[in-house]
Chain A
Amino acid sequence: MNRPLPHRITVLALAFSALFLCARPTRATDIMGTISNTMVISDDSELVGDVTCTVTNAPCIAFGASGIKLRLNGFSITGSATDCTASTATDGIDAVGQHDVAILGPGLVQKFAVFGIALIQATKVRVEGVTMTDNCFSGIILIATTDSDIERNLSVRNSMHSGGNPCGGT
């Protein structure tokens, strides 16, 4: 194909520009402060401060897309189940039906009425370096979740109010 040189340069320039535009990283959502309604994340997100969660009967943070990460950056997500007596059903972080998502510590997920982290019908989930404590049922629970890596986490003092349900650290 014998296109004139200026034409080829234009095509190359456009292709190069497109490459740069396409390669631009997805903007991360910054999270901090009080969450009173479930925060659904749809792109890579990170904590930039401690989070206090007052959501009831729903997760505090939920994955709304596959292929994204939530970085805790050393901050904490704290629920309102201080003594596990309230009859709410709140999780810290839920990933339901998602593929290839990650929750990356260090960071703390604590005092949720049900689960610290719930992975349900998800595939290829990575939870790494997270501390779960004082969650009333399980620190992390995997339900119908496959091909996942749960690595270098610490689960302490969970399942204080699970009654006869089989719950615990993970």
Chain B
Amino acid sequence: MNAFYGNGAGLSASSTTPSNNFGVGLVDVSSGNLIERNKIGGNLNGVFIDSSGDSGNIIRRNLIAGNPSAQVATDFAFPVGADIRDLSTSGSNTFEGNRCLTYMGAAPSPCPNVGKLDDDEEQREMAAFARNRLVFPQARLIDVVGALSHERLFRAHRLWLSRRGGEGFCRSGCDLLRRRRDRPA
């Protein structure tokens, strides 16, 4: 994650042209880049994509808000920038799951998007876990949660290991969790 705040300066408060300054910019035929999980605020434009033919870029899961800042927006009568200012051809770049409010560019607009409940992967896991707990009667809950926890721990541990070099690293932790998971009730 990078953070980009307060970058850019307008030419003149009386200008009727939006600024091309930015927090994160894709210019001069930039392609195949991933802009992910950044915090971008208070810039003249949060994310700026010019019209030179930038394509195949993925902009996802960023928090892009407050671009431009309230003071700048007040000083410039004409809209000077936006959270996302996209001058590229519609559909040539991908916007996914960004939290943003304002957009300048061709439709469809990815903003405003303030997210949805359970948007986040971890939040979904937690919510699913909570829902599973609630469907069982209280009397059976302890054993069920115990078994569920070991299974989930085992799966989470395996996932963690696979992201760090595969199951080859799985030694005592995996064995312990596997034994607990397979232990007869």
Contact = CB atoms under 8 A, between A and B. Distances in A.
Given A167-B8, A168-B43, A162 B3 contact: no
Interface in B1-32: 1-9, 11, 20-25, 27-28
A159 interface: yes
Interface residues of B, number: 24
B7 A157 contact: yes
B145 to A, nearest CB: 37
B9 A161 contact: yes
Given A166-B20, A166-B50, 6 more contacts: A155-B3, A155-B23, A156-B4, A158-B8, A169-B7, A169-B22
Interface stretch (A3-11, A117-125, A146-154): A146-154
Of A156, A168, A169, the most chain B CB neighbours within 10 A belong to A168
A26 B11 CA distance: 48
Nearest to A168: B22
A79 interface: no
Contacts of A138: 25
B9 A159 contact: yes
Overall SS of chain B's interface: loop
Interface of A: 138-139, 143, 150-170
A167 B45 CA distance: 10
Contacts of A150: 2
A163 B25 contact: no
B2 A168 contact: no
Nearest to B33: A142
Of A139, A152, A155, the most chain B CB neighbours within 10 A belong to A155
Nearest to B17: A164
B27 A166 contact: yes
Contact of A166 (B1, B9, B21): B21
Contact of B25 (A160, A161, A167): A167
Nearest to A158: B7
B48 interface: yes
B3 A154 contact: yes
A152 B9 contact: no
B122 to A, nearest CB: 20
9 contacts: A152-B2, A158-B8, A159-B7, A159-B8, A167-B21, A168-B4, A168-B7, A168-B25, A169-B7
Nearest to A167: B21
Of A157, A160, A169, the most chain B CB neighbours within 10 A belong to A169
A168 B25 CA distance: 7
A170 B24 contact: yes
A109 to B, nearest CB: 14
A150 B40 CA distance: 15
Contacts of A159: 7-9, 21-22
B3 A153 contact: yes
